[in-house]
Amino acid sequence: MLRVLGGPKRFCDGLTRRELLQVGSLGLLGLGLPQVQAQSRAQAAAGASGLPGFGQAKSCILLFMYGSPSQLETFDPKPDAPVEVRGELGCIASSVPGLSVCDRLPRLAQVMDKVSLIRSVSHPYPIHGVAFATTGNPRIDIPMELNPRDANHWPYIGSAVDLLDGRRQAARPAGSPPLPRNLVLPWAFSSQRVGEVARAGPYGGFLGQAYDPICTEFVGKATKKARKTLTGQVWEDVEPYRGITPESRFQLSAVSHLGPELTLDRLDGRRTLLEQIEQFRRTADDPAARSGINRHRAMAYDLLGSEKLRRAFDLGEEPGETRDRYGMTLFGQAALTARRLVEAGGRFITVFWDEFGLAGTGWDTHWDHFPRMKDELLPGLDLTLSGLLIDLDRRGLLEETLVVLLSEHGRTPKLASVPGGGRDHWSRCYSVVMAGGGVKRGCVLGKSDRIASDPLERRVSPKDILATIYHLLGIDPATTLTDQQGRPMALVPEAEVIGEILG
């Protein structure tokens, strides 16, 4: 093709001056205006990388398994490995020919034809690097892991989506408050465990605290007891990830944004504050004044009258059969709420399977590995992920909703000799599941060795996962952000979109 150099100028029909000049030259080759327009549309759909699926996902539901599932007891079982590697559980065939998964995932086995499975994710940091797995951070260490406000942190992926979408969002219609573009369920990350040190991960990073996610809070009761162990500590109490009451629900956590002990529900009921709210809104319309207003607080007031948001949180609107399909657990009902938020127009919703009660829990199975995998972790994952995929597909939403099952690393191939068995941290090889929103169905990428210790084929970085999510959400992974000192920073450095799973 003959190319014409110079800056583009777009005409009223959407063509650029450059395209019109190309049409003139291509007429000599038998190509006219319709062909050039079609080619331009195809290039736009492919994004800057030239790969398919660019922007196909309108929304993303990120399911994060904090503590990290064992690849051997989920999506990469090794039935022929020695018993000290393969452990107590077996494997079953899935709906994808030649693909087996753990035998405690029977529902997921039947929907593997809806997903792409990556079995060769690898990186050099076997710590709880949630920030490494979910941001552009080029490195992570324990001090950074334990300090969410470390100056070296990149923004959480949902925070970056929030910023970049905000830049291109048209003015919203009057009377239509938006949903938060970056929402975390079931509560603020790592906030419901014993321990004084916070963990890094879903925060604004160098964008500042204004781009931290908006979090929900859990209002309900747990119904089943759990026993957890951590270096000699024993915790035993009711555990919401094992079961909750049907009346349990989620609501926006406004305490940190509106002041102590003041929630959106209470604020809405206090009619004496209406005049103050209107005054706040008038003030917020002044750009000079608005710059001094906490961004989250302004958003909370904007959302005050959103019937769409209130209904999205109302799980009572869902049939009992649907709620049971997700599992009557904290993780299950949070994932169902995420689906309702997607239907209401949510953009990036994260559901954490988090620590609860005792630090070092969630999927961090150094102790009691097999009892917890059998009684809580695998049954909960099996119900929730399969239920979400089936529900989205039946509603015609899966093709435009990206679902990602992610963790910070995997677990050691060799079992530790502790009560109930244990697997320690292992980042050299683990599995990630992606589905919907431009992702191929029934695809298996990568291969591990005979004990799931290291990749044999197609090593994938966590940064490649992030680049692929950005691509599918219509954001060029090569985008540059600016930190608070005005320095240009890569959105996700040293990463490539995983083209093999797109289509």
Place of tokens 């998964």: 101
pLDDT in tens, 254-292: 544 433 344 444 444 443 444 554 555 555 454 433 443
User: Element (H or E) spanning 229, and its range?
Assistant: strand 225-230
> d(Cα 463, Cα 460) in Å, to the nearest integer?
8
d(CA 410, CA 85): 14
Residue 388, C-beta contacts closer than 8 angstroms, at least 6 positions apart: 61, 63, 326, 335, 336, 338, 339, 403
225-264 tens-digit pLDDT: 988 887 777 888 899 999 999 999 999 875 444 333 444 4
Threshold 0.75, pTM exceeds? yes
Segment 405-415 shows an average pLDDT of 98
Domains delineated in the chain: 47-169+178-222+233-501 (3.40.720)
Average pLDDT over the chain reads: 84
- DSSP category for residue 384: H
What is the per-residue pLDDT across 427-483, written as a single tens digit (0 to 9) for each?
999 999 999 999 999 999 999 999 999 999 999 999 999 999 999 999 999 999 999
257-277 residues labelled b (16+ CB within 10 A) or e (exposed): bbeeeebbeebeeeeeeeeee
Helix segments in 395-490, DSSP class H: 462-472
278 vs 254: CA distance, rounded Å = 18
Beta strands 401-406 and 430-435 are antiparallel
Coil, helix or strand for 461? coil
pLDDT, position 42? 45
What confidence score (pLDDT) does residue 217 get?
A: 95
pLDDT at 300: 67
Query: Tens digits of per-residue pLDDT, 194-206?
Result: 876 789 999 999 9
Q: How many residues does the chain have?
A: 503
Phi-psi region of 460 (alpha: psi -120 to 50; beta: other; left: phi over 0): beta
pLDDT at 177: 52
* DSSP code at position 205: G
Q: Give how far Cα 477 sits from Cα of 137, 203, 466, 474, 489, Å.
A: 14, 19, 8, 9, 12
Q: State the DSSP string of 307-363.
A: HHHHHHT-GGGS-HHHHHHH-SSHHHHHHHHHHHHHHTT--EEEEEE--BEETT-TT
Q: 363 with 407: CB under 8 angstroms?
A: yes
The pLDDT, as a whole number, for residue 47 is 61
Q: What is the mean pLDDT of residues 356-375?
A: 91
Which burial class, exposed, middle or buried, applies to 280 when counting CB atoms under 10 A from its CB (0-12, 13-18, 19+)? middle
Indicate the helix (H) or strand (E) that contains 295: helix 295-302
Higher-confidence residue of 280 and 362: namely 362
Rg for the chain, CA atoms, rounded:
24
With the C-alpha atoms ordered 130, 372, 451, 382, is the resulting torsion angle positive or negative?
A: negative
Tokens of 120: 């060769």
Averaged pLDDT, 93-103: 98
The answer on pLDDT for 142 being more than 90 is yes
Share of the chain above pLDDT 70, in %: 79
What is the model's pLDDT at position 64? 98
Quote the CA–CA distance of 157 and 492 in Å, as a whole number.
9
Mean pLDDT is lowest, of 33-42, 251-260, 400-409, 417-426, for 33-42
Residue 8 scores a pLDDT above 60 = no
Q: Is the model's pLDDT at 32 over the cut of 80?
A: no
Q: At what angle do helices 378-394 and 330-343 cross, to 10 degrees?
A: 20
